[in-house]
């Protein structure tokens, strides 16, 4: 749980306080692309470890594997229609090739996932690596843990924003 969710105007030079993240009451879905599994599978493993470290129950983590990055959005939509999730994490890896196929796939995934998130009102963490090379993709694998932390933070942020502010008039 987030300790301080107050909406304050702070100086742009001031870093926000370190958050204490607790996912003990959260249900998280993870959708991962099988394509480039050496990258996405490792990101999945790091995300699972981080979620467990942040007290998300193993029973509250749902994992769905799809063929590629393009299938993430439709799967996210289906998963959210199937049950309640506080946040989703989507992992994919698209690497530059000889054609513009990588641009088409990565743009479609980003736009599709954003549309699903906005329509459902559920945060979807975009863990899709758009890399120039295998080496560049491998360097970004640690973002799997970052995505897990972002999912917990955004789930709590959305809960806090859904709670009406009490004001005295």
Which residue is catalytic, options 20, 101, 156, 166? 101
End-to-end CA distance of the chain: 29
101 is catalytic: yes
Residues marked active site are found at 101
């Amino acid at each position: 749980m987030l300790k301080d969710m107050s909406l304050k105007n702070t100086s742009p030079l001031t870093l926000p306080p370190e958050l204490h993240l607790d996912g003990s009451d959260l249900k998280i879905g993870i959708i991962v692309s099988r394509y480039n599994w050496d990258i996405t599978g490792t990101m999945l493993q790091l995300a699972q470890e981080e979620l467990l470290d942040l007290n998300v129950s193993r029973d509250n983590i749902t994992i769905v594997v799809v063929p590629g990055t393009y299938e993430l959005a439709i799967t996210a939509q289906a998963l959210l229609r199937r049950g309640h999730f506080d946040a989703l994490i989507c992992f994919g890896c698209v690497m530059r090739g000889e054609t513009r196929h990588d641009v088409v796939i990565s743009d479609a995934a980003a736009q599709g996932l954003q549309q699903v998130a906005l329509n459902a009102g559920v945060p979807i963490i975009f863990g899709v690596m758009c890399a120039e090379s295998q080496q560049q993709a491998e360097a970004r694998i640690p973002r799997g843990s970052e995505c897990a932390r972002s999912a917990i933070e955004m789930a709590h942020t959305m809960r806090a924003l859904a709670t009406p502010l009490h004001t005295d008039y």
